[in-house]
Structure 1
Amino acid sequence: MAAFRNDNLDASASVAGILNEKRCPEHLQVLKTFTAALRDKEYRDAVDREAFSRLLKALSGLCDELQAASSEDKDLQSVPLQLQLVAECFRAQRNACVQSTRNQSLLRELGFIDVSLKLLSLLQTTNVENRDDIFEPLRCGIQFLGNLAVGNQECKDDIWLLSFPNVLLQLLSVDDEKAVNYASMVLHTCLDEAKVEELAEPQNIQLALRVMELCRIQPDLDWTVLIAAQHFLKSSALVESMYSGMSHQERVTLLELLFAQLREEDTDECGVPPSVARFLASSFQKGCGAVLTLACGSTSSDEVLQEALTVISLLDVLCEMTSDLRQFMFLQNHPDLLVTTVELLEQVHAIGKASKNIFSASQSFSSFSGEGDSSPVISFKAHLIRLIGNLCHSNTDNQNKVRELEGIPLILDNCSIDSNNPFISQWAIFAIRNLLEHNTQNQELVAALERRGTADYSALKELGLQVVERDGSLLLKPVRRDS
C-alpha cells in the first residue's frame, strides 16, 4: 500500500507541471492520474493543501483561456482539449469531496466554488463546433458542487451566495437532461426554509417557476419533484407568488403535485400550511365560473380550457383537504366557500338539463373502455357534491345553509348513474347523510320531499332510511332488516 500511496502523491505533485506550459494531451493524462488517485480514501485523506492549490491554479488558467478564446473568437482549435481538461479538473474536485468534510472545507476556503461557478457560466457561452463537448464538463462541474454541498452547511451557504439565482437558473436551463438533473440535486441539497423564502421574492421567482416547469415537462426528474414537495409546497408565500406568475397549465402541475402530497403523506404531517389551503379556496371561488364556459363546446379556446382545468384541479385538492384531514377542516368556515360550491353545482346541473352539452348526464360508458376522448369535466359535478358533503360533516351551520340554499333537493336529483360522473350517486348519498345527521329540520325536509314524490327514495334506502307518517308528521326512520 505504501508504494501505491507514494505513486499517488507523485501524481498530485505532477499537476504543478501543467501550470506554465502550453496545453497538450499529456496534461490530460496527468489530471486523469490525479483523479483516479482521489478515488482512494486513504489518499484523499492525505492530499495536502498545496496539491489542491495547484489544481485551483490549473482550473483558473483554463477559465482565463476559455474566456479569451470565447470573447475574441481565436484559437478555437485548442478549445476541445481545454474542455476535456476542465472536465478532468472537475472530476478530481468531485472525487476529493466524497465522504471528506476536511476536503470540502479546504476546497471552499481555497476558492474553488467561485472559479467553478464562473467556468460553468462561461461554458454555456463558449463557441464550439460540437455542443456535446460542453456537456461533459458541465455535468462534472455540477456534480462537484453537489458533492461539495452534501453534509456541509458552510459549503451549501457559499454555493447559494455565489450562484443564486442567476447561475442556478442557467444550470437548470441547460439543454442536457443529465446536467439539469445534477443541477436540481444541487438546488435540493442547498435549500432550507430561509432560502425558500428568498425564492418567493419577485426578483427570484423565475428560478422557482423553472423548477415547476421541469416538473411539468420532465416529470421523470425526481429531484425537481422532491424540491416542490419537500420545500415549495410548505411555503405559503412561495406558493402564492408562483401561482400568480404561472400559466394555467403550470398551475395544474402545481396542484397535481399538491394533490399527490396530500395523499401520500401522513394525514397530520403533510407539511402544507393552512394559509395555502385558504389561498386555494379563495382562488377556487374567484375562478370557478370558468368551468361554465365549457358548455359552449368547440367555441372554447385553449386558454379557456386550461383555466377550466385549473378550477377542476383546485376542486380536487379542496376535496382531498377536507376529507378527514383535521388541519384543513377550518375550511368549513371559509367565507362563502360552501355557498359558492352549492351555487356552482346548481348552475352546472341546470346547464346540463337545459340542452345536450358537456355537463349533461350520460349513460354511455365508452370513455371508460378507451373509445373516444375523455371529457375534461369527468367527475366535476360528483366532486362538487363531495365537497359539499365534506363541508357539512358534523357542522350544523353548514347543514342549515345548504337547506336554505335549496341544495338538498339538488343533491337528491343527482343520485342517478351518470357516466360523466362516476360514483356520483355514492357521493350524493354521502352528502345527504352528512346533511341529515343530527339535523331534524333537514330530515323533515327530505321526508316532505319524498311524500310529494320529488325525492329519490332509492337514495334514502341506500342510507338505510325510510319515510314514515306519525301523528300527521313525516319522519325518517331506519329501514328494518326484514323489510
Structure 2
Amino acid sequence: MPYHFQFRTSKLSGWDIRVLKMTNMAATTNSNLDLTASIAGTLNEKHCHEHLQVLKTFTSSLRDKDYRDAVKEEAFSSTFKVLSRLYDELQTASSEDQDLESVSLLLQLIAECFRAQRNACVQSTRNQSLIRELGFINVSLKLLSFLQTKNFESSDGVFEPLRCGIQFLGNLAVGNQTCKDEIWSLSYPDLLLQLLNTDDEKTVNYASMVLHTCLDESKVEEMSNPQNVQLALRVMELCRTQPDLDWTVLIATQHFLKSSALVEGMYSGMSNHERVTLLELIFAQLQEEDSEEFGIPPSVAGFLASSFQEGCGAVLTLATGSASSEEVLQEALTVISLLDVLCEMTSDLKQFMFLQDHPDLLVTTVELLKQVHAIGKASKNIFSPAQNFSSFSGDVESSSQSPVISFKAHLIRLIGNLCHSNVNNQNKVRELEGIPLILDNCNIDSNNPFISQWAIFATRNLLEHNLQNQELVASLERQGTADYSALKELGFQVEERDGRLLLKTVRKD
C-alpha cells in the first residue's frame, strides 16, 4: 500500500499564503541545492554515520509535497550512485571478513536510500518516471536478491532494507504502468517467489502488495504456464497458512479466480489440503453481492463440476474406515468442498445454471446419493442417520467430529437445483429412481441439518409442471412408501378419484 503523509493546516489570508509560498519556494530551492550537494559529497568519502544523517534528512524532506514536486533530477541521480556504490561494497563485505559494525552501517544506508525513494514516489508520476529512467529498479532488485541469498550475522539488520526496498517498489508501481511492467519483467517469477518465501511476515506482506499492484489479466495468464505456476501456488499457500495477510487473499480473489487456466493449473499442482483452501475462497467469492460482475468465469464452474464427478467416490472411503491416512481424509474433504461450491453456483446464479446440462453431473449426484444412503442403512457408520442434537447446543467439539456433516443434505440440494425449471432433469431423476430416494430423506437427521427441508425443496422442483412425477409420488403414497407429511409441507395432498390417484394442491391460509 502506498505511503501517504498528512500535514496540519491553518487558515491564512490570501496575502499570507502568497508570502508563505514565495518563502517556501526559496527555502525549497536552497534545501534542494544543499541536500543535492551533501548527497553527492558522500560519493568520495568513506561511509560514516554523518552520511546516514544526510540521507535521513533527504527522506524527511521528501515527505513535503512542495519539496517532492521541486526536487531536482541531480538529487535522485546522486542517490542512485550512492545506492549502486553501497551494493558493490556490500558484495565485497560479504566475501571478506568485514567487521559487523561496517556491515550494519551499509545495511542502514541502503535502507535509508530506499526510504527516500519510497517517499519521493508518493503521488508523483514525475518522480516515478525520473527514478525509473535512472535505473533504480534494476539495482534495487539486484540488492533485494542479494540480501535474500546471503547470510549476514544480524538477520534483523537485513530485514530493514528488504522491507524498505519492497515498499519503494510498491510506491513506484502505483498508478504507473511502465514501472509495473519493468518491475514485473525483472522480478518475475524467481525474485518474487524468493520474497514470498522470506522468513519475515512484513517482508512477505509488502512483497504481496507489490505483486498485487503489478498484476493484470495478461500477467495472470503468464502465471498459468506450468513452469511458472509455483508463484501462484505460494500465494495460495499463504492464504491457507497466514490468512491475516490481506494482500494474498486479494490476489487470489481479484486476479487468480478470474482465470480458468490458472485455476486449473493450480488445482492440478495442489495437495488436497491446498485445494480445500482454494475451494473455500471460491465459495466465499460466490457469496459476495457483486459475484455476477466480478466473480468466477463459467469455465471454472465446468472444471470444478468435472473434478467433482471424477473424485466423488473418495467420500465413500470414510464409511469403511479405510481413510486411515491424512491424505485420504483430505481427498474426501476436497469432494465435500466441491459439492458445497456446486450447490452455491447452482443456487439461481444465472451464469452457472448451464451446469444443469453439464454431462452426467446430475446422474453422478443421484448415484452418489444412492450409495451414501444405502451404506448408511446397511450398518452403523458415518453416513447413518443420527438423533444426536448436542451439536446444536453450543457443543463445538461434538459438532466438528464428523467430516460429512450435511453431505447427504447437500447432495439432495444439488439435485433440487439441477432440476429447477428443467423438465429433462426432472424426468432423468424419475428414470434413475431418485424420487423415492429423496422422499426417504424427509426425516430429521442430526448429521444432516435441514435435510428434510432440502428434500422438500428438491421434491417441489421435481414435481413442478411435471404430471408424470406427480403421478409417481401419488402412487408411492398409496403404496405407503411416501411420507405424506412431506407432501403436506409441499402443499400437496393425494386424492383418489374414479380409481385414480391425483396429487392436488392444498390452499394454505
Query: Which TM bucket (shorter chain)?
Result: over 0.9
Q: Which of 396, 409, 413 pairs up with 1:382? A: 409
Q: Distance in 2 between matches of 1:203 and 1:72?
A: 37
The answer on 1:324 being equivalent to 2:348 is yes
Question: Corresponding residue for 2:493?
Answer: 466
Q: Distance in 2 between matches of 1:130 and 1:267?
A: 47
Q: Which of 279, 290, 293 pairs up with 2:303? A: 279
The answer on 1:64 being equivalent to 2:88 is yes
Contact 2:100 / 2:153 at 8 angstroms: preserved in 1?
no
Deviates more, 1:111-120 or 1:124-133: 124-133
How many equivalent residue pairs?
A: 482
Question: Corresponding residue for 2:59?
Answer: 35
Deviates more, 1:259-268 or 1:458-467: 259-268
Contact 1:8 / 1:37 at 8 angstroms: preserved in 2?
no
Structure 1 residue 21: Cα displacement? 1.6
Question: Corresponding residue for 1:362?
Answer: 386
The answer on 1:256 being equivalent to 2:283 is no
Question: Corresponding residue for 1:308?
Answer: 332
Q: Distance in 1 between matches of 2:391 and 2:188?
A: 47
The answer on 1:179 being equivalent to 2:192 is no
Amino acid at match of 2:448: N
SS in 2 for 1:324: coil
Q: Distance in 1 between matches of 2:248 and 2:84?
A: 31
Question: Corresponding residue for 1:290?
Answer: 314
SS in 2 for 1:19: helix
CA distances 1:148-195 after superposition (whole Å, capped 9, x unpaired):
000000000000011110111111111111111111111111101000
The answer on 1:417 being equivalent to 2:441 is no
The answer on 1:478 being equivalent to 2:501 is no
Amino acid at match of 2:419: C
Question: Corresponding residue for 1:214?
Answer: 238
Structure 1 residue 18: Cα displacement? 1.2
CA RMSD of aligned residues (A): 1.3
SS in 1 for 2:296: coil
Question: Corresponding residue for 2:11?
Answer: none
1:75-154 residue pairs with structure 2 within 5 A?
A: 75-154=99-178
Q: Structure 2: give runs of 5+ residues left out of the alignment.
A: 1-23
Question: Corresponding residue for 2:481?
Answer: 454
Cα separation, partners in 2 of 1:481 and 1:231, compared to 1, 3 Å: closer
SS in 2 for 1:420: coil
Q: Distance in 1 between matches of 2:148 and 2:210?
A: 18
Amino acid at match of 2:335: V
Contact 1:69 / 1:76 at 8 angstroms: preserved in 2?
no
CA distances 1:373-407 after superposition (whole Å, capped 9, x unpaired):
43111110000000000000011110000001100
Deviates more, 1:381-390 or 1:178-187: 178-187
Question: Corresponding residue for 2:223?
Answer: 199
1:39-54 residue pairs with structure 2 within 5 A?
A: 39-54=63-78
Contact 1:8 / 1:34 at 8 angstroms: preserved in 2?
no
Q: Distance in 2 between matches of 1:325 and 1:455?
A: 32
Contact 1:248 / 1:310 at 8 angstroms: preserved in 2?
yes
Contact 1:418 / 1:424 at 8 angstroms: preserved in 2?
yes
Deviates more, 1:420-429 or 1:125-134: 125-134
Q: Distance in 1 between matches of 2:508 and 2:262?
A: 55
CA distances 1:333-384 after superposition (whole Å, capped 9, x unpaired):
0000000000000001111111111111111012232243431111100000
Structure 1 residue 73: Cα displacement? 4.6
CA distances 1:423-453 after superposition (whole Å, capped 9, x unpaired):
1100000000000001011000000000000
TM-score by length of 2: 0.93
Q: Distance in 2 between matches of 1:239 and 1:463?
A: 40
Question: Corresponding residue for 1:399?
Answer: 426
SS in 1 for 2:321: helix
Contact 1:66 / 1:126 at 8 angstroms: preserved in 2?
no
Contact 2:166 / 2:206 at 8 angstroms: preserved in 1?
yes
Question: Corresponding residue for 1:435?
Answer: 462
Q: Distance in 1 between matches of 2:444 and 2:40?
A: 80
Provide the identity percentage. Answer: 81
CA distances 1:278-329 after superposition (whole Å, capped 9, x unpaired):
1000000000000000112375211011001100010011001100001111
Contact 2:318 / 2:329 at 8 angstroms: preserved in 1?
yes
Cα separation, partners in 2 of 1:450 and 1:270, compared to 1, 3 Å: farther
Q: Distance in 1 between matches of 2:121 and 2:374?
A: 66
Amino acid at match of 1:326: K
Contact 1:165 / 1:204 at 8 angstroms: preserved in 2?
yes
Q: Distance in 1 between matches of 2:507 and 2:209?
A: 62
Cα separation, partners in 2 of 1:14 and 1:341, compared to 1, 3 Å: same
Structure 1 residue 270: Cα displacement? 3.8
Structure 1 residue 2: Cα displacement? 4.5
CA distances 1:20-61 after superposition (whole Å, capped 9, x unpaired):
221111111010011111111111111111111110011011
CA distances 1:210-248 after superposition (whole Å, capped 9, x unpaired):
110010011111111111111100000000000000000
Q: Distance in 2 between matches of 1:192 and 1:344?
A: 40
Q: Distance in 1 between matches of 2:261 and 2:439?
A: 40
Q: Distance in 2 between matches of 1:125 and 1:434?
A: 61
Structure 1 residue 9: Cα displacement? 3.6
Q: Distance in 1 between matches of 2:232 and 2:407?
A: 30
Contact 1:9 / 1:47 at 8 angstroms: preserved in 2?
no
SS in 2 for 1:285: helix
The answer on 1:335 being equivalent to 2:359 is yes
Structure 1 residue 480: Cα displacement? 4.5
Question: Corresponding residue for 2:181?
Answer: 157
Q: Distance in 1 between matches of 2:84 and 2:289?
A: 46
Q: Distance in 1 between matches of 2:37 and 2:67?
A: 13
Q: Which of 214, 236, 249 pairs up with 1:225? A: 249
SS in 1 for 2:503: strand
Contact 1:70 / 1:125 at 8 angstroms: preserved in 2?
no
Amino acid at match of 1:202: P
Structure 1 residue 75: Cα displacement? 4.5
Question: Corresponding residue for 2:9?
Answer: none
